[in-house]
């Protein structure tokens, strides 16, 4: 019935004007009373209170003002049941007298009702008790639904929350309540409600896609982790490969021995196509094999302070999987091993070998971070030139041609290679395009003084 509450107004003429030419059906904002006076007025007229909490700098607030709150259909609904006020939560030099008079009340409202996002919409009953809340941009129907829910104790967030706290969970939509609490950053309460929901659902309930999404939204909870692992272990049919299930499999697969892993391993190309990402499946598989197969072996080498037999490790992986996985995983394991031990010469050599062969050149952050690691730790000209080439490829992409971190890396590689004039030119560009990064300016000054900008490796 809540939809009918406002829909019945739609047949009315939408362009009603007073003699002065202004719309008479838009929201009638009350802006000449204090907060206490508004609560007194609401109680006397038996009306709810709608508070639009906004900030002058807030673009979503302006969008709501122009596209939703200005509509006659919205005004007619709110004017019939609400006293409406707009409360500015920040201050500006352009504030008028009325806004300044509201500074104190605005501060009290912000602190008492924990306003930390804009726009926030508060709904109070005629007794001045907060019963409902909304955040962010809504379309017309969404906002009218929000305002209508605020009138009904069966759909008011705070009324339902009160029932939950009192132990009355009959017919409560726990998923909606938990999601709302999370949206309003009442995280402890959201987790408590979510746990209550998770404790009552059965495995068959995970056939409902919204239940799966809900469990994932609260995946930080131990009960959610258990549910997701059980759910993933039952994905054994290629027909169940979709974006949601694949991402869940990637996060919650229980080792390399189950049917779920085999489904992932045997259908890697299909998974990449579904996820629209080259190498997605291979990276997930690499990580699982590394954790399950390689890490225990390396832990033994570490325990006995031995240098790994990389050929032996490569052979073991190749025997169980294939040469491609064996070569790639062994190469990446070398990088991690030498980095952990701060063996910088073997680390940079292994990093260049890995990145030149397997590096994700489409990942600008990985590209830049790898090149910067070579700059900081390598003394080998060939390795420095390889890293320079990676960054040149990145800067040749129009999307990243003015990206400050890449310009900085490129300049410093040039500098370490002895090409000081070129380095200063590129470092000046890094300063220009990342003016807030003070390290860029510091490195530019060092270049001009002829001082090293890199770490002195042992």
Supply the pTM of this predicted model: 0.73
Q: Are 234 and 254 in contact (CB under 8 A)?
A: no
What is the pLDDT at residue 7? Answer: 36
**Distance in angstroms (rounded) separating the CA atoms of residues 327 and 358:** 10
What is the pLDDT at residue 362? Answer: 76
What is the pLDDT at residue 20? Answer: 33
> b or e along 57-68 (b: 16 or more beta carbons within 10 Å of the residue's beta carbon)?
ebebbeebbeeb
**Distance in angstroms (rounded) separating the CA atoms of residues 316 and 329:** 11
What is the pLDDT at residue 270? Answer: 96
For the chain, 458 residues long, give each residue's pLDDT as a single digit of tens.
334 333 333 333 333 333 333 356 789 999 889 999 999 999 999 999 999 999 999 999 999 999 999 999 999 999 999 999 999 999 999 999 999 999 999 999 999 999 999 999 999 999 999 999 999 999 999 999 999 999 999 999 999 999 999 998 888 999 999 999 999 999 999 999 999 999 999 989 998 999 999 999 999 999 999 999 999 998 989 999 999 999 999 999 888 988 899 999 999 999 999 999 989 999 999 999 999 999 999 999 999 999 999 999 999 999 999 999 999 999 999 999 999 999 999 999 999 999 999 987 778 999 999 999 999 999 999 999 999 999 999 999 999 999 999 999 999 999 999 999 999 999 999 999 999 999 999 999 999 999 999 987 55
The domain 361-458 having CATH identifier 3.90.79.10: the answer here is no
What is the pLDDT at residue 294? Answer: 96
What is the pLDDT at residue 110? Answer: 96
Q: Are 316 and 355 in contact (CB under 8 A)?
A: no
What is the pLDDT at residue 457? Answer: 55
Per CATH, the homologous superfamily of domain 2-155 is: Glutaredoxin (3.40.30.10)
Task: Give the residue among 360, 405, 356 at the shortest CA–CA distance from 382.
Answer: 356
């Amino acid at each position: 019935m809540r939809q009918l509450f406002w829909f019945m107004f739609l047949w009315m003429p939408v362009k009603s004007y007073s003699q002065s030419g202004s719309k008479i059906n838009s929201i009638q904002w009350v802006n000449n009373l204090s907060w206490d006076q508004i609560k007194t007025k609401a109680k006397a007229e038996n009306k709810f209170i709608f508070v639009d909490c906004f900030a002058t700098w807030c673009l979503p607030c302006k969008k709501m003002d122009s596209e939703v709150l200005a509509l006659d259909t919205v005004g007619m609904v709110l004017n019939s049941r609400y006293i409406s006020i707009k409360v500015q939560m920040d201050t500006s030099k352009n504030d008028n007298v009325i806004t300044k008079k509201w500074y104190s009340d605005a501060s009290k409202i912000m602190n008492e009702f924990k306003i930390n996002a804009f726009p926030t919409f508060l709904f109070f009953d005629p007794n001045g008790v907060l019963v409902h809340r909304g955040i962010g941009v809504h379309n017309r129907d969404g906002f009218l639904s929000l305002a209508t829910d605020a009138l009904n104790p069966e759909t008011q967030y705070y009324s339902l929350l009160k029932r939950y706290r009192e132990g009355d969970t009959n017919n409560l939509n726990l998923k909606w309540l938990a999601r709302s609490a999370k949206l309003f950053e009442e995280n402890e309460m959201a987790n408590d409600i979510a746990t209550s929901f998770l404790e009552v659902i059965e495995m068959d309930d995970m056939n409902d896609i919204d239940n799966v999404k809900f469990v994932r939204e609260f995946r930080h909870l131990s009960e959610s982790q258990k549910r997701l692992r059980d759910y993933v272990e039952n994905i054994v049919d290629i027909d169940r490969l979709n974006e949601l299930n694949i991402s869940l499999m990637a996060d919650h697969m229980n080792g390399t021995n189950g049917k779920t892993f085999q489904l992932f391993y045997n259908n890697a190309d299909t998974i990449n196509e579904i996820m629209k990402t080259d190498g997605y499946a291979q990276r997930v598989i690499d990580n699982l094999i590394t954790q399950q197969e390689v890490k225990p072996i390396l832990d033994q080498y570490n325990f006995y302070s031995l240098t790994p037999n990389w050929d032996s490790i490569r052979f073991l992986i190749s025997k169980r999987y294939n040469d491609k996985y064996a070569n790639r995983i062994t190469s990446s394991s070398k990088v991690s091993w030498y980095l952990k031990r701060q063996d910088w010469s073997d680390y940079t050599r292994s990093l260049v070998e890995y990145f030149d062969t397997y590096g994700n050149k489409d990942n600008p952050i990985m590209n830049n971070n790898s090149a910067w690691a070579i700059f900081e730790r390598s003394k080998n000209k060939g390795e420095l030139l390889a890293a320079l080439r990676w960054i040149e490829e990145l800067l040749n992409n129009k999307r990243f041609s003015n990206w400050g971190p890449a310009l900085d890396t490129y300049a410093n590689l040039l500098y370490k290679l002895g090409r000081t004039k070129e380095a200063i030119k590129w470092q000046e560009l890094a300063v220009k395009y990342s003016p807030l990064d003070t390290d860029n300016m510091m490195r530019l000054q060092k270049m001009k003084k002829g001082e090293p900008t890199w770490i002195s490796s042992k």
